[in-house]
Structure 1
């Protein structure tokens, strides 16, 4: 319809009408583009808020798990020290029940909390750009790198310490099958057991420090995400 009007005005050499038609067409196109851009911006903002909400839920859950691990490490370090004193003073303090409790509750090295599933999906899909807050994006990347280092370090510690814990592992397996003195005798020397306990105690202290650092990073991200959600 507008094209016919333009054609007619050109034939009639009504240049003012031609200019007016041209202005109307261009203005209509610009308005259409603006509406499209506004709609896309609104959709992106909605998606961003959904992503921020999911990230916040992920990191709150991971942060709680890390708090639980910190509590576990703190209590276990005390139990390891009690166990160490028991072995040092063996056989005078041969408390078989205490030894069994130790192996049931303390002889376990949990891994640091892993990555956020939502963050992993954002990276894989290339949707990190939907997060408009540059500081938040940088913090997410830094936290992911920190988590990767902790996970890798935890695995390295496991592999490095495994040979030194042989006597402890053997004692843990034998204590349920035979008398205390026989289990200790077949596990290795008292010195081997004490070396293993000292090493294990050091590993737990190191992992406690790692998890506390991890928790600080979680707390910072949780605060940033909460602030972003409230905008």
Structure 2
């Protein structure tokens, strides 16, 4: 339609009308581009908000797991320290100040919690090359830092498992179970190890217990420190997400 009008005006040499038609065409193209850009921006904002809401939900779960990691570390450390105290005091002490037996304390020592890792939505954003949809550069930086600390926490947890495996062998060697129920590796097949019979002589005469316990205490402290570092990062991340979602 507009092209026919321009052609007619050119044939009549009505240059003023041609100029007006040209301006109309240019303005139409400009407005069309602006509308398209606006729609694209709105779609990008919706995508970002959807990711932020998913990150917010998943970091809530991560924060809860970190609380469990820290609580389990505290429990295991306290139980192991009390076992060391009992070991130091000798066979005359078969329970701690709270009346817990060595077997009960052992049960608390071996109860670990797998560390928290980066939320799946962060892994999705990175693998799909979509992290740039998060406009807040501070948030992107903290997400990367949390992921890096999480990788270290996983490696530290593996060291803890290795040290704990050796300590578990020492601890379980003091417990007597039905040989028919023993596992292939010789350790007792247990549900609650408090139900297994404790043999004091095996516990108090094992010099390797103290050395291995000190190694495990070090890895427990390391795991807790990493979990606390993750907690601080989660707090910063959740604050940034809340600020962005409130806009």
Confirm or deny a common fold (TM above 0.5).
Answer: yes
Tell me the equivalent position of 2:101: 98
Given that 2:174 and 2:202 are in contact with CA atoms closer than 8 Å, whether structure 1 keeps it comes out as yes
Given that 2:167 and 2:212 are in contact with CA atoms closer than 8 Å, whether structure 1 keeps it comes out as yes
Could you tell me how far apart the structure 1 residues matched to 2:120 and 2:42 are? Answer: 25
- List per-residue Cα deviations over 1:100-147 (Å, max 9, x = no partner): 212322213323211111111111222211111111111111111121
Could you tell me how far apart the structure 2 residues matched to 1:177 and 1:112 are? Answer: 29
Check if 1:86 corresponds to 2:89. no
Tell which has more relative contact order, 1 or 2 (C-alpha 8 A, sep 6+): 1
Given that 1:88 and 1:190 are in contact with CA atoms closer than 8 Å, whether structure 2 keeps it comes out as no
* CA RMSD of superposed structures (Å): 2.4
Tell me the equivalent position of 2:184: none
- Equivalenced residue count is 228
Given that 2:167 and 2:213 are in contact with CA atoms closer than 8 Å, whether structure 1 keeps it comes out as no
Q: Secondary structure at the match of 1:132?
A: coil
Instruction: Select the residue among 198, 218, 227 that pairs with 2:214.
Output: 198
Given that 2:52 and 2:241 are in contact with CA atoms closer than 8 Å, whether structure 1 keeps it comes out as yes
Given that 1:69 and 1:211 are in contact with CA atoms closer than 8 Å, whether structure 2 keeps it comes out as yes
Q: Secondary structure at the match of 1:190?
A: coil
Instruction: Select the residue among 170, 176, 189 that pairs with 1:167.
Output: 170
Tell me the equivalent position of 2:64: 64
Could you tell me how far apart the structure 2 residues matched to 1:228 and 1:131 are? Answer: 10
Q: Secondary structure at the match of 1:13?
A: coil
Tell me the equivalent position of 2:234: 218
Q: Secondary structure at the match of 2:207?
A: helix
Check if 1:7 corresponds to 2:25. no
Displacement after TM superposition at 1:181 (Å): 4.0
Displacement after TM superposition at 1:56 (Å): 1.3
Tell me the equivalent position of 2:28: 28
What 5-or-longer segments of structure 1 have no aligned partner?
A: none
Higher helix share: 1
